[in-house]
Structure 1
Amino acid sequence: RRELNLSNSSVLGACQKLQEAVGLPNLAPRYAIDAPADAHDGSSRPTLSLSALLKQYGIRLTANQAYHQMVKLGIVEQRERYSRTAINNIKKFWSLTAKGCMFGKNITSPANPRETQPHFFESRFPELLKLLDTVH
């Protein structure tokens, strides 16, 4: 969990799938709380993909351009995993850093459980946009 900075809901989902796969009774909770790292109210926050938020705010950046800017801020990092079908057998994916968990959460990719997909808190996106404006 710590290696990929997975959200609580991603960890819970993995545990539930494991319980089912090995035939254990479902003892895990049904819900997990996903909130910014500094949230004190214990309540989850709605999230969206970076592409969806950029479009919603009318920002003329691609998600890839924004991710490269966030690397400079220490908010995301590009990770790698082995893949039989990818070029040079390496598949790259984005992952939020510990610092980035203030702005979003890493969800388990639906395409592959060994990689993450950043989702950003809608409530923190304006703050993230201000930071992106400082990167040149």
Structure 2
Amino acid sequence: MANELNPNKKTMSSLEIAELAGRNHKDVMRSIRDMEPAWVKVNGRNFALVEYKDAKGETRPCYELHYDECMYVASKFNDETRAKLVVRWRDLETGKAEPIISLVKTEMKQPTISDKMKAATWAAKFLNLNENSKLIIAKQILEPYNLPLPDYTPSKGIIKSATKLLEERGLERQISAQAFNKIAMQKGFLCEVERNSSRGQKKKFKSITEKGLLYGENQVNPNNPKETQPLWYGDKFDEFLNVLGF
């Protein structure tokens, strides 16, 4: 539902914080997002996520923070920026300053735990994630609610990357990981998935298909949680190489 900005409402946007800190708004948004789980855990509420229209008339997201939320976020910045934030709040309260956002904003509905779990279930099914990766996602969703979850769910066998398993067999010079992946994709055991990067570009990563789950598991990539990392069962790898025709 669209609401006009209430000039008497004592809030500060992430746009204003970015301007005072001399930082890119997207970086400030990321910092606030990273701090939000701890705030939810202590206070039981999310930061207000709203939309605004930029100079091009395009709709963009930003946070709208109350005083206590703003002071919490300010702990991420240096002394000078924190001082500027204090002065800015004083000017807002005394009417010496106006909020940066003076356009129509739309409050964005915060996803419920049910919404998050549905999205996680879809992602786990679409990417054929293993049990441990599903657990990692569940812990990220449920951590603010202090619900008990196990630390680890064992895989069905010892899983390693194709590169590691080829090295263990002394085959790395005969079969490169690239050649292995190419044949696995051609035979339908592996596929390539696309995602959008933070810069709006397309990033590709590999994921084991349902057909390939007999020989391996998809694990959340520890270097990039937005991607999967195909890992293969060590005790079935020789059989898998024969199936692939190596």
Give the TM-score band, short-chain normalised: 0.7 to 0.9
Alpha-carbon offset, residue 123 of structure 1: 0.8
3-state SS, counterpart of residue 118 of structure 1: strand
Query: Who wins on radius of gyration, i.e. which is larger?
Result: 2
Map 1:68-87 onto structure 2 (within 5 A): 68-84=182-198
1:113 maps to what in 2? Answer: 225
Alpha-carbon offset, residue 120 of structure 1: 0.5
Q: What is the TM-score of this pair, normalised by structure 1?
A: 0.81
3-state SS, counterpart of residue 125 of structure 2: coil
Q: CA RMSD in A?
A: 1.6
State the one-letter code of the partner of 1:8.
Answer: E
2:140 corresponds to which of 14, 17, 34: 17
1:46 maps to what in 2? Answer: 158
Q: Distance in 1 between matches of 2:223 and 2:202?
A: 15
1:61 is aligned to 2:182 = no
Alpha-carbon offset, residue 111 of structure 1: 2.2
Count of paired positions? 121
3-state SS, counterpart of residue 113 of structure 1: coil
3-state SS, counterpart of residue 10 of structure 1: helix
Higher helix share: 2
Which ranges of structure 2 fall in alignment gaps of 5 or more residues? Answer: 1-123
1:132 is aligned to 2:244 = yes
TM superposition outliers: structure 1 runs of 4+ over 3 Å? none
Identity of matched residues, %: 31
Task: Answer with 2-11 or 105-114: which moved more.
Answer: 105-114
Q: Distance in 1 between matches of 2:211 and 2:155?
A: 15
Q: Distance in 1 between matches of 2:179 and 2:202?
A: 21
